[in-house]
């Protein structure tokens, strides 16, 4: 990894990824696989050398672990994308609550499915991933203005 996008979702990370790809970098946006063992707590001492095969990684969850990833890849450059808090809040709350609401709630029998080792097409596994990710990054699986804007 040569470049780490350290901005939160809805701060221009998709545009940054597209720009990096246009410049010829292999870029991974919103990685739903490689950090799952950390998110689900199954790996208490993880090795963060997980992105040797790509030049750039953007968005959460990797952005949340920027300290660990920059320690693992000390030559990497960090790019921070930012956005006005009020504008970001309107965008992220619409994105999570309206555009891509989770159909599966924690506690159901199917909720126990593993996160998986490949991009999930399983709605339950993806819902679990999103809830774990939101809890890790924002301190709340639900879109809560106080927690999320503080993050």
Contacts of 121 (CB under 8 A, 6+ apart): none
How do residues 57-103 score in pLDDT, each as one tens digit? 999 999 999 999 999 999 999 999 999 999 999 999 888 877 666 65
Distance CA 113, CA 104 (A): 12
Distance from C-alpha of 57 to C-alpha of 42, rounded to nearest angstrom? 23
Q: What is the pLDDT of residue 123?
A: 67
Q: How far is CA 133 from the centre of its chain?
A: 7
Do 25 and 1 touch, CB atoms closer than 8 A?
Answer: no
CB contact at 8 A, 9 and 59? yes
pLDDT recorded at residue 121: 56
Distance of alpha carbon 52 from alpha carbon 41, whole angstroms: 23
User: Residue 111: what pLDDT?
Assistant: 43
Sketch the domain layout of the chain as residue ranges.
3-79, 85-150
φ, ψ (nearest 5 deg) of residue 4: -120, 120
Give the separation between CA 117 and CA 43, rounded to whole angstroms.
14
Across the range 26-36, mean pLDDT stands at: 94
pLDDT mean across residues, the chain: 86
**109 pLDDT more than 60:** no
**Stated pTM of the model:** 0.85
Question: 39: number of CA atoms within 13 Å, CB side?
Answer: 29
């Amino acid at each position: 990894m040569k470049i780490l996008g350290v901005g939160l979702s809805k701060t221009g990370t998709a545009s940054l990824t597209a720009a990096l790809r246009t410049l010829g970098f292999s870029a991974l946006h919103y990685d739903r696989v490689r950090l799952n063992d950390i998110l689900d707590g199954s790996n208490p001492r993880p090795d963060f050398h997980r992105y040797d095969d790509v030049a750039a990684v953007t968005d959460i969850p990797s952005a949340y672990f920027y300290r660990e990833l920059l320690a693992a890849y000390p030559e990497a450059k960090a790019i921070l994308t930012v956005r006005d808090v009020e504008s970001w809040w309107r965008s992220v709350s619409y994105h999570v609550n309206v555009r891509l609401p989770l159909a599966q709630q924690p506690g159901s029998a199917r909720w126990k499915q593993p996160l998986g080792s490949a991009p999930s097409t399983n709605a339950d596994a993806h819902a679990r991933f999103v809830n774990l990710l939101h809890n890790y990054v924002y301190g709340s699986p639900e879109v809560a203005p106080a927690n999320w804007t503080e993050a």
